[in-house]
Structure 1
Amino acid sequence: MTLLLSGVDSFTGIHPFLLVLAAAGLDRLVGDPRWCLHPVVVMGWWIRRLQQLSERWAGDRPWALRLAGGVITALLVGGSGGAGWLLEQWALGRGLSDLRPAGLLALWIALTSALAGRSLEQAVRSVLQALPDVAAARTALSWIVGRDTTELNQAEIVRAAAETASENAVDGLFAPLFWMLVGAGLWSVGYGGAPGPLALAWGFKAASTLDSMLGYRQGTLLWLGTAGARLDDLLVWLPCRLVALSLPLATGCGPGGCLQGLVAALRDGVPDPSPNAGVSQAAYAHAAGVQLGGLNRYGDQLKVKPLLAAGSPRPNPAAVERMLRLSLRLELLWLLAGLALGIAISAVGSVQ
């Protein structure tokens, strides 16, 4: 127990941020290999099993379903974060003097699994590469969006690809990266026994997976998925707005344009029913200079989404590629900011 509590006390300064940088680099290099069991698949198995048990016990009683949803959320997020924390403490032992090479390799790979930069690029580009074959593009798109794709024309397919590229950049890349950097910051200042990059990233991924599987407001999920969806909204709220604030830097704008970008994203995105999806899409719409939003079909329901960057040209494949490049540039900027923070903390520690 003493070992676990002392943990990574000497793994401080810039070292935790270098670990996050290495994970981001590996994600961009290999993505999510299909031959490897992914932690999200394990989370999904547990969610489905717990959902079945909960619905069997709660029946159609709203209060019982809400209670069960809260229990599922606590178990999955706590268990995922706890598993990450145990792996961190085992891998790094007492810090730099007690590194376990196999454990450090496992930690590196596990951190990589929480990022989806390359896999998002591949999924979105598979849609663009299928065009002008509309049928093939619809099929590729159906794997990455929740809307009905069966009747979309080419322009609507491209808009859907642009919207998923912008929304999932936050959900799949920048939100977990943000929580990794928070964990790295805790280690960097000497809180070695605290949850680190992996614990916080896996905890976030658990909430995100809960939202994607149980967050649909229909049937029993109207109550069962509430806790997971609300937690996911909360954990994405700040990273989403930091993306909106910093994305203009990736376009080449100076710091003066950051506040304008944030204001525009909030103005256009807040009317969206989701507290984060509209803001993230609006940030990318303004950065790429295209109009997003409009009429979407979900099953037998039609939903009108607010127009984002209204009056701008509609997205074309080149605009979607521009969004993907902006995500890569912004990821590099966030990583460089983390390294700069680690260097500053190291410098302060050496003076003291």
Structure 2
Amino acid sequence: MNNLILFLITAIFIDWLIGDPKQFLHPVEVIGWVINFTRILIEKYSRGNILFLKIGGLLLTFNIVIISGLTGWIIEQLSLSESNIISTISSLVLLLLISSSIAARSLASSCLDVIHPIENNYSYLDIQNSRKMLSNIVGRDTSNLKKQEILRAVAETASENAVDGIFAPLFWIFIGIMFWKVSLYLPGPLSFVLTFKASSTIDSMIGYKEGSLRWIGYTGAKLDDLMTWIPSRLVLITLPLVSRSWNLAPEIIKKAWKEGSKDESPNSGLSEAIFANCLKIRMGGENIYRGTKKYKPELGKNHPEANTRSIKKIILSIVKLQIFWLLLIVIINLST
């Protein structure tokens, strides 16, 4: 079991070292292709019938989540094979897939790519480049955003995606490790993390409250909320412990809970709120999604607006919290 912890440490190191090389096929891309193909079929054969759209969405979510988890379990079992060749190859695949499920390097690089062109003096072309980079990582319309709006968007998406892309996967990997302590025939870390990534991808692709997606994506969105519920609250509790304001943790957590709970999302509001209040950055306000204005609760009301320095502080805090979580996983593993 201690080898499994070493496996996790290696996976995190690989993620920070190389991230997700664009020349290699990412598992999420494969999941995305299947989701898109299935969605088109559901829309074609349901012919706008709400009941059929709901049932189609339920089947889509169930099948993709089960297939993803089962794929992880098969790779896990092959890694335990008595055949050295099969075991070695499967263990390598297992390592790479776990590494690819933790998007720390990818999140940091994406955020820095957005702010770099406008970090100091910038031209119209620079801000256009920032808008284009930003459109790759956020759902809001970016074509007319000004510099300050771009910076706020980066701060918000870094705070939200820290849970979705890093700490929720780490949590489910840990759950898989605990399952393997009971029996190696049970689903393990890869099974659980691929199940989470499947639900997260479904939510990000079709979890919108518009058109037919309101019904097709309903089950996937709810499942993602459920699977992110505990990790987001663990981030709420633990982030103050690695920030300079750890002695004020109870007060900060209480304030972040009050502000974040006003968001319609049961999870993203809390993750943004704790980063806003721990790192003293004002977030929230008016955004435009697909031409429609949407107002998000104001977070960290009395703090300064986001700037390039505060965004880098968010990234550094994510690294610190990732190390802290890893230490907790090691301690719990050794004590059970």
Q: CA deviation at 1:328?
A: 0.5
Q: Per-residue displacement from partner, 1:148-194 (whole Å, max 9, x unpaired)?
A: 1111111111000100110011111111111001111222x332111
Pairing partner for 2:4 from 16, 26, 49: 16
Distance 1:16 1:173 in 2: 18
- Mapped to 1, the partners of 2:149 and 2:296 lie a distance apart of 13
The CA deviation at 1:299 is 2.1
| Aligned equivalents of 1:92, 1:53: Cα separation in 2 | 38
Q: TM-score, normalised by structure 2?
A: 0.95
> TM-score by structure 1 length?
0.90
Equivalent residue number for residue 8 of structure 1: none
Give SS of 2:40's match: helix
- Where does 1:253-268 land on structure 2 (aligned, <5 Å)? 253-254=245-246, 257-268=248-259
* Aligned-pair CA distance for 1:202: 0.3
User: Separation in 1 of the partners of 2:255 and 2:183?
Assistant: 38
Conserved in 1, the CA contact under 8 Å of 2:113 and 2:133?
A: yes
Matched pairs, number: 330
Counterpart selection for 1:199 from 181, 191, 194: 191
The percentage of aligned residue pairs carrying the same residue is 38
Give the counterpart of 1:290 among 281, 293, 305: 281
1: CA distance, partners of 2:251 / 2:95: 37
1:238 partnered with 2:230: yes
Counterpart for residue 228 of structure 1: 220
Which deviates further from its counterpart, 55-64 or 230-239? Answer: 55-64
Unaligned runs of 5+ in 1: 1-11, 346-352
Between the aligned partners of 1:98 and 1:257, the Cα distance in structure 2 is 53
Deviation at 1:15, TM superposition (A): 2.6
C-alpha distance in 2 between matches for 1:55 and 1:215? 15
Amino acid at match of 1:57: Y
One-letter amino acid of the counterpart of residue 217, structure 2: G
For 1:276-315, what per-residue CA distance to the aligned partner results, in whole angstroms no more than 9, with x for missing partners?
1111100110111111001111122111111001111111
1:28 aligned residue (12, 16, 24): 16
CA offsets 1:38-72 (integer angstroms, 9 cap, x no match): 10010001001111111112111111111110000
Q: 2:77 aligns with which of 62, 86, 89?
A: 89
* One of 49, 59, 64 as aligned partner of 1:76: 64
8 Å CA contact 1:92–1:98 kept in 2: the answer is no
Q: 2:294 & 2:53 partners in 1: Cα distance?
A: 27
Work out which structure has the larger RCO, using CA pairs closer than 8 Å and 6 or more positions apart in sequence: 1
**Structure 1 partner of 2:108:** 121
Alpha-carbon distance change, 48 to 312 in structure 1, aligned in 2, over 3 angstroms: same
User: Deviations along 1:199-234, whole A, 9 cap, x unmatched?
Assistant: 000000000000011101111001010000000010
The residue aligned with 2:332 is: 341
Residue type of the partner of 2:291? D
CA distance in 2, matches of 1:263, 1:89: 44
User: In structure 1, what is the Cα distance between the partners aligned to 2:223 and 2:248?
Assistant: 31
Number of the residue aligned with 2:96 = 109
CA contact (8 A) 2:78 2:86 kept: no
Within a 5 Å distance, the mapping from 1:47-196 to structure 2 comes to 47-93=35-81, 100-131=87-118, 132=122, 133-187=126-180, 189-196=181-188
Q: Which amino acid in structure 1 is aligned with residue 208 of structure 2?
A: Y
CA distance in 1, matches of 2:212, 2:11: 38
Which amino acid letter does the alignment assign opposite residue 190 of structure 2? L
Q: Which amino acid aligns with 2:35?
A: I
Deviation at 1:257, TM superposition (A): 4.0
Alpha-carbon distance in 2 for matches of 1:344, 1:98: 33
Distance in 1 between residues matched to 2:135 and 2:117, nearest whole Å: 13
Aligned match of 1:5: none
What CA distance in whole angstroms lies between the structure 1 residues aligned with 2:326 and 2:6?
9
Q: For residue 214 of structure 1, what is the aligned residue in structure 2? A: 206
SS in 2 for 1:147: coil
Q: Which amino acid aligns with 1:93?
A: S
SS in 2 for 1:100: helix
Matches within 5 A, 1:29-44: 29-44=17-32
User: Which is worse superposed, 121-130 or 54-63?
Assistant: 54-63
Aligned amino acid, residue 121 of structure 1: A
Taking a change above 3 Å as real, the CA distance of residues 282 and 52 of structure 1, as seen in their structure-2 partners, is same
Q: CA deviation at 1:94?
A: 6.6
Shift of 1:98: 10
Q: Which residue matches 1:326?
A: 317
